[in-house]
Amino acid sequence: MSWLERLNNPVRLSISSNLDDTYVALLQQLGQVTPFELAVLGGRAMTTPGLAFLVGYQAALRVLWPSAPASLGALCATEQRSVRPADMQTRLDDLRLSGRKDFVTAGNAADWLLVAARSEAPGESPQLSLTVVYPGEPGVRLESLPVLPLMPDIGHARLFLDGALCERLAGDGWDAYVKPFRTLEDLYVLSALCAWLYGVGQTCGWSQVLQLRLIGLLGGCAEGSRQCADAPVTHLLLGGLFAQFSMLKQELNEAFANGPVEWASLWQRDQSVLEIAGAARAKRLAKAWQTLGL
């Protein structure tokens, strides 16, 4: 059965008291799925935009690291609001990590952490490696951050590393992981949130035209999931998908205004999550546009 056929399953997931249990229950409900199916079918099954975001984020992680465990994970790159290698202070030395990461999505619920760390020799240009550590292991400590107004159901944490033993993934930490993840996250979170909106539309009886437009967007996302994350054509396609979504905003707001207030409140609270990385996405699109000679 295709993802589009399964998308019409009206059953929503019963939310557990913590994110880890909720995610385990979702995996049991979905069975064996691809990352795109996880984002779309998982987003459709969730009760809030924040939980749909989390599922899209997990799907992106599994494209980035296909060998990832089935449990919740997180990518830890941000230091002082930057992911640039030159701005990072976390260091990898003989498979030992030391430093800190300031913003880890769902960090306190994560079972494994992908950590970007500087690994160049003294005097060389900044170079990143991507490593894996596990919360609770010696030298790995997570500290909860205050709840944010945006997606308050998804907690965040700060990560402290003190000589923590790690695994090192193959490939360059920037080119193979941190850089492409921003595109993957955009694509799979958009997919999950469009699926969540489609589910709300079914529940609330939105117009057929609006539901079909959301399905069309998901079809474009499906094509995006088959492309290489760092290819210019992928950035072009992703720019087109976000442009289409932007054109739906007024129609979506009207549909929410004419429906149950609880759905409208959730969307009003969390919809700006898709705008967080807008500036970086616009730069990637401009570069792709130039590269393709358009």
Return the C-alpha torsion angle 202, 204, 209, 214, nearest 10.
Answer: -50
Token representation of residue 250: 């007024």
List of domains in the chain: 3-64+176-291 (no CATH), 73-168 (2.40.110.10)
Q: Which residues pair with 160 in a beta bridge?
A: 100, 141
Residue 128 pairs in a beta bridge with 118
Residue 16 has what pLDDT?
79
Q: Which two tokens stand for residue 67?
A: 């060998």
Q: Please, which residues have CB within 8 angstroms of residue 128's CB and are 6 or more apart in sequence?
A: 85, 88, 116, 117, 118, 119, 172, 173, 174, 177, 178
Q: Are 43 and 191 in contact (CB under 8 A)?
A: yes
DSSP 32: S
What's phi and psi for 212, nearest 5 deg? -70, -35
pLDDT given for residue 115 in this prediction: 98
Q: Which of 162, 3, 136, 150 is nearest to 71 (CA)?
A: 136
β-bridge partners, 73? 112
Give the integer Cα–Cα distance in Å for 6 and 98.
Answer: 45
Task: For residue 116, list its beta bridge partners.
Answer: 130
Q: Quote the CA–CA distance of 13 and 158 in Å, as a whole number.
A: 29
* Long-range interactions of 25-32: CB distance < 8 A, separation 24+: 26/55, 27/70
Per-residue model confidence as pLDDT tens for the chain (294 residues):
689 999 998 888 888 778 999 999 999 999 999 999 999 999 999 999 999 999 999 999 999 999 999 999 999 999 999 999 999 999 999 999 999 999 999 999 999 999 999 999 988 999 999 999 999 999 999 999 999 999 999 999 999 999 999 999 999 999 999 999 999 999 999 999 999 999 999 999 999 999 999 999 999 999 999 999 999 999 999 999 999 999 999 999 999 999 999 999 999 999 999 998 888 999 999 999 999 988
The pLDDT score that the predictor gives to residue 43 is 97
Identify the pLDDT of residue 102. 96
User: Token pair of 153, please?
Assistant: 């159901």
Amino acid found at 47: T
